[in-house]
């Protein structure tokens, strides 16, 4: 069996989406809470989510097409990203249903909301961590609207921390893979030390370029 080369522009949109989401994996899930201009609470998962900057803290979630989360974030300028741990998979999934804009997904999922400190949208009380964000910029690329937000407050359940650090096994975040498959990250943790140029150089005995990693 060899390699197949695929030109995504020749694929039906659904097929192209399959390859994108099956290969860009595992994706973290931003469970985005927002408020509509009339005060209706909205909650929906977005796996097009990542960190952008660590000084200041900036993250993004991306809406494919125009979802309520995007409309609310754009009009109100604020959102909260709740981290989805293993025990919250079922309510998270429920909030992905195509609810009309005037339905409150917190209520539908039977989730308690907790007030945020720095923004108006509440967070999911049961989520072990949340990032309270102010919209910085919205960038449209293709059918994606990337909502960039500066994190004004990091809320973390102290039970997930050990020695002042978040313990991944205690946070137990889930990841999304292709289709409806998820990974339970806490089940498969391993540590890997990143090599340093200074060490590699000594082993090989050559060259010199500066290198500083990000994510």
Q: Which residues bind ligand FMN (CB under 6 A)?
A: 29, 42, 44-48, 62-64, 67-69, 93, 96, 98, 176
Q: Work out how close the CB of 71 gets to ligand FMN at its nearest, in angstroms, rounded to a whole number.
A: 8
DSSP letter for 205, please.
-
Specify the residue, 75 or 159, whose C-beta has the smaller distance to ligand FMN. Answer: 75
Specify the residue, 30 or 171, whose C-beta has the smaller distance to ligand FMN. Answer: 30
Q: Work out how close the CB of 176 gets to ligand FMN at its nearest, in angstroms, rounded to a whole number.
A: 5
Specify the residue, 42 or 85, whose C-beta has the smaller distance to ligand FMN. Answer: 42
DSSP-derived 3-state class of residue 141 = strand
Question: Do residues 22 and 15 lie in contact, with contact meaning Cβ atoms separated by under 8 Å?
Answer: no
DSSP-derived 3-state class of residue 215 = coil
**Could you tell me if residue 45 is left (phi over 0), alpha (psi between -120 and 50 degrees) or otherwise beta?**
beta
Cβ within 8 Å of residue 24, ≥6 positions away: none
Question: Do residues 77 and 35 lie in contact, with contact meaning Cβ atoms separated by under 8 Å?
Answer: no
Q: Work out how close the CB of 210 gets to ligand FMN at its nearest, in angstroms, rounded to a whole number.
A: 35
Q: Work out how close the CB of 173 gets to ligand FMN at its nearest, in angstroms, rounded to a whole number.
A: 12
* Residue 88 phi, psi dihedral angles, 5° rounding: -110, 10
Specify the residue, 19 or 197, whose C-beta has the smaller distance to ligand FMN. Answer: 19
Specify the residue, 101 or 168, whose C-beta has the smaller distance to ligand FMN. Answer: 101
Q: Work out how close the CB of 10 gets to ligand FMN at its nearest, in angstroms, rounded to a whole number.
A: 24
Q: Work out how close the CB of 41 gets to ligand FMN at its nearest, in angstroms, rounded to a whole number.
A: 10
DSSP-derived 3-state class of residue 3 = coil
Specify the residue, 63 or 172, whose C-beta has the smaller distance to ligand FMN. Answer: 63
The first and second tokens of residue 207, run together, are 């060259």
CA separation, residue 109 to residues 103, 126, 190 (Å): 11, 12, 33
């Amino acid at each position: 069996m060899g390699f197949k080369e695929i030109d995504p522009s020749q694929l039906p949109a659904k097929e192209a989406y399959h390859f994108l989401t099956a290969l860009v994996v595992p994706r973290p899930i931003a469970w985005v809470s927002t408020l509509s201009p009339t005060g209706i609470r909205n909650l929906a998962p977005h796996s097009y989510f990542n960190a952008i900057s660590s000084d200041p803290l900036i993250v993004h979630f991306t809406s494919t097409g125009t979802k309520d989360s995007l409309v609310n974030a754009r009009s109100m300028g604020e959102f909260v990203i709740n981290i989805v741990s293993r025990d919250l998979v079922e309510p998270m999934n429920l909030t992905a249903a195509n609810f009309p804009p005037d339905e409150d997904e917190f209520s539908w999922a039977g989730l308690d909301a907790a007030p945020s400190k720095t923004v108006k949208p509440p967070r999911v009380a049961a989520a072990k961590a949340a990032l309270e964000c102010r919209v910085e910029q919205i960038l449209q690329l293709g059918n994606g609207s990337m909502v960039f937000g500066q994190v004004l407050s990091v809320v973390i359940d102290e039970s997930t921390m050990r020695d002042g650090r978040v313990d991944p096994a205690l946070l137990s975040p889930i990841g999304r893979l292709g289709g409806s498959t998820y990974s339970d990250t806490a089940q498969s943790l391993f540590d890997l030390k990143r090599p340093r140029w200074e060490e590699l150089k000594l082993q090989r005995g050559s060259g010199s370029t500066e290198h500083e990693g990000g994510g």
